[in-house]
Structure 1
Amino acid sequence: MKYFICLFSVCILMVSCTENTSKKIATETASEEINCTDYLSYQGRDDQATGGIKMVPIETPKGTFNVWTKRVGTNPKMKVLLLHGGPGMTHEIYESFDGFFPQEGIEYYYYDQLGSYYSDQPDDLSLWDTARFVEEVEQVRQALNLNQDNFYLFGQSWGGILAMEYALKYQEHLKGLIISNMVPSIPDYMKYNEEVLAPQLDPEVLATIMKYEAAEDYGNEEYLSLITEHYYPKHVIRIPQKDWPNSINRGFKHLNPDVYVTMQGPSEFGIKGNATLKDWDVKDRLHEIKVPTLAIGAAHDTMDPKQMEWLANEVKNGRYLHCPNGSHLSQYDDQEHFFPGLVSFIKDVNNNTF
């Protein structure tokens, strides 16, 4: 009911906006404007019966599995596929987009990657491989009929790694690329974490965390409590834990530890052990990305914002968006900068004014 009320409110807003030419919702060109009725309608779509949800079959070396997607809105020129982080997190961390994309007429897709809560969760660790995930995204793109005329790929954190890898192989299918809160080098991220972020913690808290890290006692309740009470509120989401949005709590509750530990490792304080992402680095290949690219960094992020700005200058056609009040989940703790900058990028690319 709450979601219906939200959409109904958006509809009223969008109808009123059609009377004001300064607030056109799609491309600011009357011939391409998407009105409220068209944007919210499912009529004639193959996902009408499911309210936008489509289970997409994915071919893998270990068989065929299904992944969950959900479309919100309709716009033939601006379609955004959201790649969640983790790895093994869910689309739920992007539910804040419901408050900002619809009134801009942007069509967007929630998507749980294979292994994540709403999709199939096969019990085979060999599937948690970056190259295989890239092929999964390509199959999802095809199933959703996204192409170079409308396809914007948004990836945050691990999703940013996946987005960069996808662009390096399949950028001919992209209209725009958004890399949010993810630097192009895990070793650089680890160095920033150790040399810049860790010293910002209370010395006693840091010493206790490092004691558990050294013992590889990552499941210890005190260790987890210190991370969530002291590290997360500074660098992951700058909101007191008791006030975290329900969508964030659900996302953490639904995280698949098998995917997460295989790729990210067991530590909550960096990438450790035999994690498959431990040595990931594409800095030397960024110049190959020619599609319009937005890099989003945040002042309090776990990722170095200066390196995000460097990334924007390293690709052929980049722009940097800085969130001065944000951390790793800037879509929640710095919405006043995150969403206007993101929407402007999408519309500028769409209008050929990027």
Structure 2
Amino acid sequence: MMTRQEKLTASGVQWVTLDNGYKVWTRRVGSGPIKLLTLHGGPGCTHEYLECLENFLIPEGIEVIFYDQLGSWCSDQPDDESLWILDRFIEEIEQVRVALDLEDFYLYGHSCGGLWAIEYALKYQMNLKGLILGSITGSIQSYMAHINHIREQLPQNIVERMKQYEEAGDLENEEYQTLLMEHLYHQHICRLSEWPDPLNRAFDHMNNQVYNTMQGNNEFVFTGNLLGWDRWNELASIRVATLILAGRYDTMAPADQKQMQSIIPHSRLVICENGSHCSMWDDPTNYQQALVGFFRDVEKGNL
């Protein structure tokens, strides 16, 4: 495990200065003709929980580019809520692409990084060879409907207790956090009894200002500025080869994944049957096979 300072100076690191003067951190690992730029979730999380991708993609001749978005752990972290808006993040990705000289590349987005990836593809898909949408749906309303459906399946006393803390605004209460971890995170974020260190570090390094501004401070009541985001009607205009990838126990509904696959013309759907939101960790075999198979088929012109 590298410290933050070691990450900042590690081999393959390239800093990108944005048009607003702030700098974001990227790091290339591996080498090969296939280039993959990764977009972590959150918003305001870090690249750390995605580091496992390099273990099985590098041997396939894929260069993986990790990237902490502005506000995230290895990048600049300005105290400025006006920066945390969707359009600015999409333009940030394009500035990173230009700085890294990426053409005909693959874009991987997980969770809200998948939302970023959808938005990027809708505006800049001429730059893409392939798109991976990991654990995302077509609208915030779809996400909220499913995550609240998940909660409503819990024993009523658990649901009522959680809602009491939420109504009181006591979201940092130890009991509330324990209820979240036991009934949501360990069932639908990562189903491993012991979470891997990279995933724990990503949660520990979350920038809550970014998260609260864009999503809100409550898992079940969305109050951030992404509220109202809906791209169901625009998904059909994504024409690049697309992999839709999620877990059976994901916080995103498998039915939504099927709907996305039916809309995006050149798309493939893989549901990791043993996985959740972080299927790269709790269903790694199926996750790896899906990703590697997608790259091979796109490179062969089979998708």
User: Normalising by the residue count of structure 2, what TM-score does the alignment of the two structures yield?
Assistant: 0.95
Does the 8 A contact of 1:72 with 1:109 survive in 2?
Answer: yes
Alpha-carbon separation, structure 2, partners of 1:342 and 1:139: 26
Alpha-carbon separation, structure 2, partners of 1:144 and 1:158: 22
Alpha-carbon separation, structure 2, partners of 1:335 and 1:207: 35
Alpha-carbon separation, structure 2, partners of 1:323 and 1:95: 19
Q: Which residue of structure 2 lines up, in the alignment, with residue 247 of structure 1? A: 198
Name the SS of the counterpart of 2:268 in structure 1.
strand
Alignment of 1:189 onto 2:139:
no
**Paired residue for 1:116, among 49, 52, 72?**
72
Does the 8 A contact of 1:271 with 1:277 survive in 2?
Answer: no
Alpha-carbon separation, structure 2, partners of 1:82 and 1:329: 15
Name the SS of the counterpart of 2:230 in structure 1.
coil
Map 1:93-112 → 2, pairs under 5 A: 93-112=49-68
Q: Which residue of structure 1 lines up, in the alignment, with residue 6 of structure 2? A: none
**Paired residue for 2:209, among 258, 267, 270?**
258
Distance 1:271 1:264, change over 3 A: farther
Alpha-carbon separation, structure 2, partners of 1:338 and 1:50: 27
Does the 8 A contact of 2:31 with 2:58 survive in 1?
Answer: no
- Higher-Rg structure is 1
Name the SS of the counterpart of 2:222 in structure 1.
coil
Map 1:183-332 → 2, pairs under 5 A: 183-195=137-149, 197-240=150-193, 243-267=194-218, 269-273=219-223, 275-332=224-281
Q: Deviations over 1:152-173 (max 9, x none)?
A: 0000111000000000000000
Q: Deviations over 1:30-84 (max 9, x none)?
A: xxxxxxxxxxxxxxxxxxx95101111111xxx31110001011112x1111100
Does the 8 A contact of 1:297 with 1:309 survive in 2?
Answer: no
Alpha-carbon separation, structure 2, partners of 1:183 and 1:50: 34
Alpha-carbon separation, structure 2, partners of 1:50 and 1:183: 34
Does the 8 A contact of 2:54 with 2:64 survive in 1?
Answer: no
Distance 1:131 1:336, change over 3 A: same
Alignment of 1:341 onto 2:279:
no
Map 1:40-55 → 2, pairs under 5 A: 50-55=10-15
Alpha-carbon separation, structure 1, partners of 2:244 and 2:220: 21
Q: Deviations over 1:91-145 (max 9, x none)?
A: 0010111321121111111100000010001111010011100000001111111
Q: Is there any run of 5+ residues in structure 2 with no aligned partner, and where?
A: 3-8
What's the offset of the Cα at 1:271?
Answer: 4.3
**Paired residue for 2:17, among 37, 57, 70?**
57
Q: Which residue of structure 1 lines up, in the alignment, with residue 30 of structure 2? A: 73
One-letter identity of the residue aligned with 1:189: Y
Alpha-carbon separation, structure 2, partners of 1:271 and 1:174: 34
Distance 1:295 1:271, change over 3 A: farther
Task: Indicate the structure whose relative CO is greater, using CA pairs within 8 Å and at least 6 residues apart.
Answer: 2
Q: How many aligned positions are there?
A: 297
Moved more, 214-223 or 137-146: 214-223
What's the offset of the Cα at 1:257?
Answer: 0.5
Does the 8 A contact of 1:201 with 1:231 survive in 2?
Answer: no
One-letter identity of the residue aligned with 1:65: Y
Alpha-carbon separation, structure 1, partners of 2:50 and 2:151: 27
Alpha-carbon separation, structure 2, partners of 1:141 and 1:350: 21
User: Normalising by the residue count of structure 1, what TM-score does the alignment of the two structures yield?
Assistant: 0.81
Alignment of 1:158 onto 2:112:
yes
One-letter identity of the residue aligned with 1:75: G
One-letter identity of the residue aligned with 1:325: N
Q: Which residue of structure 2 lines up, in the alignment, with residue 146 of structure 1? A: 102
Q: State, as a whole percentage, how many aligned pairs show the same letter.
A: 44
Alpha-carbon separation, structure 2, partners of 1:136 and 1:309: 30
Q: Which residue of structure 2 lines up, in the alignment, with residue 25 of structure 1? A: none
Alpha-carbon separation, structure 1, partners of 2:12 and 2:77: 22
Name the SS of the counterpart of 2:49 in structure 1.
helix
